[in-house]
Amino acid sequence: MPRAATVTHPTGTPDRRGARRLPPIATLSIAAGLLVLVALASLAIGTRQVPLDVVFGAFASPVAGDADQVVVRDLRLPRAVIGIMAGAALGVVAALLQGATRNPLADPGLLGINAGASLAVVAAIAFLGVASPFGFIWFAFGGAAVAAAVVFAIGSTGGAGATPAKLALTGAALTAATTPLVTLLLISDEGTLSQFRFWSVGSLSGRGLETAAVLWPFLVAGLVLAAWLAGRLNLLALGDDVARGLGVRLATTRVVTAVAVIILAGTATSLAGPIALLGLAVAHAARGLVGGDYRWITPLAGVLGAIVLLAADVIGRVVVAPAELEAGIVAAIVGAPVLIALVRRTKGTSL
């Protein structure tokens, strides 16, 4: 029986289906252009439709008191900025997790990071009276950071180190441990439930540019670390022994990965709440588009994450107008089929 044809791409990743991919730089450029279009749609589309010339005029020639321009500048611009930041962080952190753990199902939501952020936010609402999205950000960031640190610390114990199975089980155990605590706090106080319900579904509304102004340095720091890690993740994909033989310091690489994951996951959760499955979906989409080179997967996953989250927010504004469907719900509808497909593909195999 003849062997399947193998096509080698610029990333060095063979494609046994024989399908040709665009050069990675072309794919990334197209994705960046699509992000610009989706960002414009985010500024123009909603319950109140705003023409594109008015959108541009809101920044080029602002008119005091113009209702459409106020909507664009004060309401939709913050949502677009936060959507781009949170989506990029979610995409990049999922790519890092999947590359570092060699686990195709690695995602902040599946590794208990969202659960830690949720517990911290509920505790802040219940015991400290925090009531605004801007007030939630530090507690969400701290909870996500602690949860990620716990998962990596426990999952790294033992001779085998941080194996995919150990990290996944640790994340599941952390989620199982925190969920009853969250439920207990919610059912004990109706006000806490009301405040948490808005945050927990994942949304871009209700956040101002001051939130983005506080968190952008963390996002930049996480992205810089991700860029440093990208080439090393390519070597880790060859196995620990090969990577070590090629000069990769495994302990240093995994520690830096953990720091980057903590920063990016904490930033994304602080900005938009616990958005589930989006990072998982876009990281796999990026791999399918550019092959197995994390120097391209990582930035493309960030751009695709921003596109999907912004698009989910726009869809949520119009699908049940004049009401809104939160972006986290729309993103989960997109991500759930991807998770099901991955589980079916990995059936009978070891993660």
Lowest-confidence range among 72-81, 89-98, 108-117? 108-117
Do the beta carbons of residue 227 and residue 237 sit within 8 Å? no
Band of pLDDT at residue 16, cut at 50, 70 and 90: very low
- Name the strand (E) or helix (H) holding 14: strand 14-15
- Given this model, what pLDDT does residue 159 score? 63
Please state, in angstroms and rounded to a whole number, the distance separating the CA atoms of residues 160 and 166.
9
Band of pLDDT at residue 265, cut at 50, 70 and 90: confident
pLDDT tens digit string along 131-146?
Answer: 776 777 788 888 988 8
Do the beta carbons of residue 267 and residue 279 sit within 8 Å? no
Nearest CA-CA partner of 176 in 118, 123, 112: 112
Do the beta carbons of residue 147 and residue 112 sit within 8 Å? yes
Lowest-confidence range among 31-35, 39-43, 108-112, 196-200? 196-200
- Given this model, what pLDDT does residue 1 score? 38
Angle, alpha carbons 211-216-221 (nearest 5°): 145
Q: Where are the domains of the chain?
A: 85-345
HSE toward the beta carbon, residue 326, CA cutoff 13 A: 18
Integer angstrom CA distances of residue 225 from 88, 93, 98, 100, 222: 14, 11, 16, 13, 5
Residues in Cβ contact with 159 at an 8 Å cutoff, skipping those fewer than 6 apart: none
Question: Average of pLDDT values for 188-204?
Answer: 76
Q: What is the DSSP letter of 7?
A: E
The DSSP bridge partners found for residue 141 are none
Nearest CA-CA partner of 107 in 293, 265, 236, 317: 265
Name which CATH class applies to 85-345: mainly alpha
Q: What is the DSSP letter of 91?
A: H
